[in-house]
Each structure stands twice: as structure tokens, then as C-alpha cells.
Chain A
Amino acid sequence: MKRIALFLLLMIGLQSCRQEVDTSTDSRVVFESLWKILDEKYCFFEAKNVDWNEIHNKYAYRVDTTRANSVELFNLLGEMICELKDGHVNLYAAHNVVRYWKWFEDYAPNFNPNLEKNYLGTDYLISSGLNYKRLDDNVGYITYRSFSSSISDAGLDYIFDYFRDSPGIIIDIRDNSGGNLSNVDKLASRFTDEKITSTYIRHKIGPKHDEFSDFYPIYVTPSPRHRYTAKKVVILTNRTCYSATNTFVSTMRLLPNVTIMGDRTGGGGGFPISSSLPNGWNVRFSSCPTYNSAFEHIEEGIEPDIKVFLDEFDEIKGIDTIIEAARSFIKK
């Protein structure tokens, strides 16, 4: 019986070999947990020249005045993470979402959805997330407002065939704030005849701020289906082009027949992941930085080839200055 008792004790002993995690919902524990998650896994401290220890000191003394799970604590944590100035950093609770949106709120929108109707009308065609139409001058016009909307291969084949007699096409991705990178790949692969290195990605290999992997290339391979590479393509952008859309722009600008027109994109060059705080709030943050083909960060956005802003007098007349500039460029 002694042996049996010994075995049971061994089992209980091994079961208790756990590294205890502080799961208290105390404000201090939640604050430290959030700070540590970002300290170890956020990827842009060095690129943005953020002193995270200093930010800890700036906010830590205010934590003890907040109640556990309170709106005050949530707001304080929100203030702290907004110091990162990153649209991919969010704090989620049942009552609210902390977000940093100054990457587009501080700039002119350069997009008016009411003007879009003047171009698409009501008889436009729809293929998955793409709306498209031949404009009066036969220029092809496609809008794509979210990379979360799936794109079908058959749909793209039809669209390019539909625009076969057009002098070029406009792809309007203004106000497209991102989505799935697989859709970026699928769409971009229709505009190149060669395999290109479109972007690079790295990931953190340890908790220190400078522990990163090598640069890994991301390729765009020509689609074996219908491609659109012989005529002009103009991509319309504004500050709300973010995340996957930003990656799409970074890729498309490498292609010889493609021109980026409009305003600088909003950025969002970090691949975001999520984690949890002890009180049940969730945090999202950038963990893998992406770079353009010249190894430059695209977190702060991408300049267009041709900068064009929406003119307010045109707007009053129902004209979208940027679409008109793209039409002229294609017909030139």
C-alpha cells in the first residue's frame, strides 16, 4: 500500500508542477499584464522610436486610483496603447473598443461615397466584393472596399474580358481599410507576367525589442488565368487605405503598367495578433513588420505616384477629381 500511496503522491506532485500565472483582476495586475504583452511581442518600438519603459512610468502611477474592471482603467490603458500610434493596436471590452484612428482622421478623406454613385450609377455589375462598370469614355472602373470580401477567379476572368476593349482600368480602393492578405495575392497576381518579390516580412524571435528574424520575401506569382498586363491600370488611394490594402498598394506600385493615384495610404504594415488580459479584456497589436521591396517599413503609409486631392468645388458639382484625373491619365 505504501507503494501505491507513493505513486499517487507522485501524480499529484507532477500535476502541481505549474508555473503559476497571476490571474487577479486587480487594476495593477491588468495594467502590468498589458504592458508586458506589448513589451514582449509588439514589433514597432524601435521603428517608431517609442520608449516603452518611459510610457510605463508615465501611466503606472495612475493605475492605483482606478477600480478593477472600471471604465477609468479601460480609458487609462487605452491612452497608454494609443501612444504607439498604430491602427492595429486595439483594446476590446464588452462596452467599448480602444482604437487609434488618427492615421485617417487627421487628414482629408479624399473620398465621397455620394460621388461614387455618379460614376457607378445603378446598373453596375457585381462580382463578389468588386463593383464594376464601363464609364462613358469606355474606361473600366472597379471599386473594391474591403479585402475581407472574397474575390472569385471566375469573376476576375469575366471582369478582365468585359474590359478588353477599354483603354485601361481604374481600381478604386479608397476607404478600403484592409482584410485578408490572400485576396491581395489573388488580385495582384492578375497584373504581372513575372514572379516578383512584392514585400518582405519579419517576425519576432524573442521578447527583446530588437529580436527579429531575417527578412522573408513575399512573392507575387503570375496567375495562370486571365491577366491584365498590357494596358494602363490606375489604383486610387486615400488615407483610409490600411493594412492589407496598404500591402496591395506596396505590391502594385512595383508593376510597370500600374500607377498609384490619390493620397498617401494610411499604413498598417504590421501583421496583428491577439492576446488576453486577466480580466477578460482582449488586446490586438502588430507583431510581424512588413517592408516594401526596398526593405523600408510601410507602417507609415505609401506615397502615390501621382498625388491628387478631391477638389471641393468639383465635389459640389458631383465630380470626383481623383477619378477624373485617372481617366485623363489612362486616355493620355
Chain B
Amino acid sequence: MKLSHFLLIAMFSLSWNAAAQTPVLKSFDWQMGVGSGYIYDDYLSPLPYQGNSLLFSCGTTKPLNWSIPDSLSLPFKEAKWSNQVQFSLNTVYGKSPAGSRLLHGNVDFRDNLMRQLIDQQNWSVSLGGFLALGGGGRYCLVNGNNPASLDVYLDLGITGLTDYRFNLWNKPMKLSYQGSFSLSGIAFSPEYAESYYEIFYLGNKENVLKYTQPFNNEHWRQLLSLQIPLSKRKSSLRLNIQNDGHITLYNNIRTRVMTTHFSVGYIRYFNIL
């Protein structure tokens, strides 16, 4: 069992039921998006940077049955638990009002575990938690000895998913909204004016790992998506609006990274016995 699953189970203390073994659906999805990004990092500059942003993400979603280890045995619709693994890669090329440039990149890997709480005919609601591991950094093209800053984080948070199913032009559509917010974790940060030379060349790593909670780390993701079936139960086209935000205040250093993307994706469903 993955560590994230264990932590989330402990956190929510929820119970589940066994079910019979029948074919299930597992989905794979890929998205590519473009949008805009806002970057502020006062370790590098007191100026905000804004610019175009690119996003690539992919992931899988599968139902879980906890009573039978290693099984994917519940019909997707009946599953009470689901596991969603997401990987995303984001880059922003920002420009300050003064014309200087900054490059931002981020990689985020997260494992979501959700339990379906409401399952009505047209809509459903799932709630759960996630463990995210991510990192990246910013490179300021005009700075000398401090051109870059690094992001590394391990976040534990809550996530909620609601689906609304409806028919449009005789096609079954699904509108989904998923919101995730970090509650706790650890992150890397230099001290206020500590140089990376000092941390990585001289080895002064004291106080560079920070315990994070919502007061010093607001980290969220919102994903609104419309799924349009391409072939019955096999694949869908997905149109997304994804908003990510990461606001931190560690060691008196403020950072804000906010991106909004419109992305087009493809979902493929697989029957798994």
C-alpha cells in the first residue's frame, strides 16, 4: 500500500465495503494547454512577472476495492473509492513591467484518493485527500549571483470532485469540477538572503526545510472540465480550464505563482478484469 494511501486512510478514518469481482474501467488522460501565468518571488526581484504559460498533464483514474488487495474489481460506477494519479509539467516565460524576463518551471506529481459520498442519477460528489510531490524553480535573466530560486515541496491536502452528467445534442456529456487544497507538508526554502552558493557549495542547510500549513503555504488546484464522448465508453475529448496557485511565505521570502490554462485533452477508457 502506498504511503499516501495509508496517510489518507488514517486522516479520514473512513470505512468501505467489499464487492464482487466484475470488469471495471480504468482511464488514462492527456492534456495540453496554454494560458497565462503570474510569478512573484521577492528572493529574486520585487517585481511581478506575467507571461504565457504552457501546461502538459497526464494521469490515470481507477476504482479501488480495499477488501481485496491489488484488485480493480468494482464496476467503475459502483466503486466507492477511486485513485487518481496526476503528473503535470508547467512552464511560464514571464516579463516584468520593467521589461526583464523570468523563466519558471514546475513539475508536480500527485496521488489522489477519493471516496464517493453522493451518487445521484445526474451528479456525484467525491471527497478525499492527496499527496503531492513537486518541484521546479525560477530563473531571472538579469541577476548575477542570485539568478535562480528553487521550489521543492511535499504536500498533503484535501481534494473534492463533483460530476454533473447531462445530454447535449443526444450525446452524454460530463461536466466536472475538482478542487484541491494543501493542508500540510514540507518545503524547501533558503533563509531570507541566504545564497544558494552557501547552501549547496558550502553545505549550510540549516533551516531550509520548512513545515508548511495554510498560513504559510496556500497551494491549490482547480480543474473545470467538460467531457465529450468520442466513442461509446472508450474515449472522450476533454476541454479544461485549470487554475493553479501557490503562495508561500517561508523565511520572510514571499512567492506567488498563479497560472490559468485552457487545455484540450483526450481520455481513454480500458476494461480491466
Q: Which of A37, A207, A280 gathers the greatest number of chain B CB atoms within 10 Å? A: A280
A19-B256 contact, Cβ under 8 Å, with A4-B175, A11-B224: yes
- Residue A329 at the chain B interface, CB threshold 8 Å: no
- Residue A257 at the chain B interface, CB threshold 8 Å: no
The reply to whether B98 and A15 contact each other, CB–CB distance below 8 Å, is: no
- Residue A306 at the chain B interface, CB threshold 8 Å: no
| Chain A, 1-39, CB within 8 A of any chain B CB | 3-4, 7-8, 10-11, 14-15, 17-19, 21, 23, 25, 33, 36-37
Determine the distance from Cα of A276 to Cα of B100 in the docked complex, in whole angstroms: 8
- Chain A: CB-nearest residue to B146: A273
Determine the distance from Cα of A44 to Cα of B52 in the docked complex, in whole angstroms: 39
The reply to whether A203 and B222 contact each other, CB–CB distance below 8 Å, is: no
A14-B97 contact, Cβ under 8 Å, with A7-B222, A274-B142, A276-B142: no
The reply to whether B146 and A15 contact each other, CB–CB distance below 8 Å, is: no
Q: How many A residues face the partner with a CB closer than 8 A?
A: 47
- Residue B30 at the chain A interface, CB threshold 8 Å: no
- Residue B165 at the chain A interface, CB threshold 8 Å: no
The reply to whether A273 and B144 contact each other, CB–CB distance below 8 Å, is: yes
Q: Which of B111-119, B127-135, B239-247 contacts A (4 or more CB under 8 A)?
A: B239-247
The reply to whether B260 and A216 contact each other, CB–CB distance below 8 Å, is: no
- Chain A: CB-nearest residue to B97: A23
- Residue B81 at the chain A interface, CB threshold 8 Å: no
Q: Which of B48, B99, B192, B220 gathers the greatest number of chain A CB atoms within 10 Å? A: B192
- Residue A284 at the chain B interface, CB threshold 8 Å: yes
Per DSSP, are chain B's interface residues mostly helix, strand or loop, or mixed?
loop
Closest chain A CB from B65 CB (angstroms): 31
A276-B146 contact, Cβ under 8 Å, with A14-B243, A205-B192, A213-B194: no
B145 cross-chain contacts in A, Cβ below 8 A = 271-274
B: interface residue count bin: 35 or more
- Residue A322 at the chain B interface, CB threshold 8 Å: no
- Residue B153 at the chain A interface, CB threshold 8 Å: no
The reply to whether B251 and A205 contact each other, CB–CB distance below 8 Å, is: yes
Q: Which of B97, B193, B207, B224 gathers the greatest number of chain A CB atoms within 10 Å? A: B193
Annotate B47-65 by CB proximity to A: 1 below 8 A, 0 otherwise.
Answer: 1100000000000000000
Q: Which of B13-21, B71-79, B196-204 contacts A (4 or more CB under 8 A)?
A: B196-204
Determine the distance from Cα of A201 to Cα of B195 in the docked complex, in whole angstroms: 11
Annotate A180-207 by CB proximity to B: 1 below 8 A, 0 otherwise.
Answer: 0110000000000000000001011111
- Chain A: CB-nearest residue to B202: A218
Per DSSP, are chain A's interface residues mostly helix, strand or loop, or mixed?
mixed
The reply to whether B144 and A18 contact each other, CB–CB distance below 8 Å, is: no
Determine the distance from Cα of A319 to Cα of B144 in the docked complex, in whole angstroms: 39
- Chain B: CB-nearest residue to A201: B198
Closest chain A CB from B36 CB (angstroms): 9
B237 cross-chain contacts in A, Cβ below 8 A = none
A10-B222 contact, Cβ under 8 Å, with A18-B258, A203-B192, A276-B98: yes
Interface residues of B (CB under 8 A from A): 38, 40, 44-48, 96-100, 140, 142-146, 164, 175, 177, 191-195, 197-198, 201-202, 204, 206-207, 220, 222, 224, 241, 243, 245, 247, 251-252, 254, 256, 258, 260
Contact sample, A vs B, 8 pairs, CB 8 Å cutoff:
A7-B222, A15-B38, A15-B260, A201-B204, A271-B197, A274-B144, A282-B100, A288-B194
6 more A-B contacts (CB under 8 A) besides A36-B46, A271-B198?
A11-B241, A41-B192, A41-B193, A181-B201, A205-B193, A280-B96
